[in-house]
Structure 1
């Protein structure tokens, strides 16, 4: 990781921490309206595009040493298992996206939305103060669960399945 990337990530996280005194999105708050592009250039507008679905939005960064990238791959398995019941994971990379970077290839094949938040503005709207952070949003676009820090797939599955039922 270059020093420039580390500095940029640090500045983004510092800005996010300083701009949200309430601790970010709270349980029972509506999800903020945001528009982001995925790795293929398709624009997603949340929560509108996922209305009627239970979604887990996971903020992470390719450069984040605390973010377990295998969780993103595991979310694909959970998506396939629960998508007919209305579950959709959404991964939001906070920071730069370089399509030529070999590290991105394994994520480009995921069938759920992998979105890019290059300037951290969406993370700021959600009140993210550290990576990774995950939110479970119900079918009406309301926050029901929040995980700050890393969580295993079993914990994540328990959180969204309680909302899914």
Structure 2
């Protein structure tokens, strides 16, 4: 056997394994066009929320974050409140999902008491895993039929967030610019 044939023979199993693993492992979780996974979470008042069933017919921006996350801009939750007030008549609803254990008495949540949209708790990260969250923050936009239309891992700027959900609200037309 020649040296070249020996090298090819040894590399063939490595190549085949790489091809098989690439085909079996879906990078990044949900893909655009996938249905949103069904999850049941509690809000900060102890009410059960079933996603996406409780939000049918609405364009939902789901933001996974954590009060302990150093990369998560906590002011984004107030920015989402502004968007909620401006677009709720068009059936837009933000949903913030805190990933990790949280005590009801945790004073860090006092600053979010003014939020009129759902603030949910994913104590064990099960919902985050179902969505394929690989880092916080992560943002997903789900249309009124429960289909994923946009996603972003990492912090999103305000204009980027607005573009995500207004494009879905407008059924694919260009978004409505800045504030």
Q: Quickly name the TM-score band, shorter chain normalised.
A: 0.7 to 0.9
Q: What aligned pairs does 1:1-165 form with structure 2 within 5 A after superposition?
A: 21-22=25-26, 23-165=28-170
TM-score scaled by length of structure 2: 0.79
Name the SS for the 1:24 alignment partner: coil
Structure 2: where are the runs of 5+ without partners? Answer: 1-23, 171-179
Distance 2:103 2:85 in 1: 27
Structure with bigger RCO (C-alpha 8 Å, 6+ apart): 1
Distance 2:43 2:114 in 1: 12
Shift of 1:102: 1.3
Distance 2:55 2:89 in 1: 14
Shift of 1:64: 0.3
Q: How many residues align?
A: 146
Structure 1: where are the runs of 5+ without partners? Answer: 1-19
Runs of 4+ in 1 over 6 A off after TM superposition: none
TM-score scaled by length of structure 1: 0.86
